[in-house]
Chain A
Amino acid sequence: MTALDGVVLFGTLAAIIGYGVWRTRHAQDAAAYLHGGYSEKWHTIGLSVMATQASAITFLSTPGQAYTDGMRFLQFYFGLPLAMVALSVVFIPRFYGLRVYTAYELLEARFDRKTRQLAAFLFLIQRGLSAGITIYAPAIVLSTVLGWPLQLTSISIGALVILYTVAGGTRAVSQTQKHQMVVMLGGMAVAFVVVVMRLPPELPLGRAVRLAGVLGKMNIVDFSARLDSRYTFWSGITGGFFLALSYFGTDQSQVQRYLSGRTITESRLGLLFNGLFKIPMQFLILLTGVMVFVFHQTERPPVFFNQPALAAVRASPRAGELATLETSQAELAVRKQTAIRAWSGALDRHDEPSVARGEAELRAAEAGTEVVRGNVRRLVHEVSPRAEANDTDYVFISFVLGHLPRGLVGLLLAVILCAALSSTASELTALGGTTVVDFYKRSFRPDATDAHTVRAAKLFTAGWGVLAVAFAALASLVDNLIQAVNILGSLFYGTILGLFLVALFTKRLRATPVFVAALLSEGIVIVAWLTTDIGFLWFNVIGCALVVALSWLLQWVWRGARPATSV
Chain B
Amino acid sequence: MPEVVSLLEEWADVDLIYPEEELSALGDVRVEHDLYVLKSGAELALSLAGALDAVGAAILNPYPIAARCRDKIIATRILQRAGVPVPETFVTVHSNRLARLLDAGPLVVKPYRGSEGRGVHVVWEPDELDDISANHGPVFAQRYHEPQGRDRKIYCIGGQVFGVKRVWPVRTLEDKLGEPFTIMPELRDIALRCGRAFGLELYGLDVIFSDGRPYVVDISSFPGFKGVPDAALRLADYIYSAAHRMMEGNPAVRASTRVGQS
The answer to whether A and B interact is no
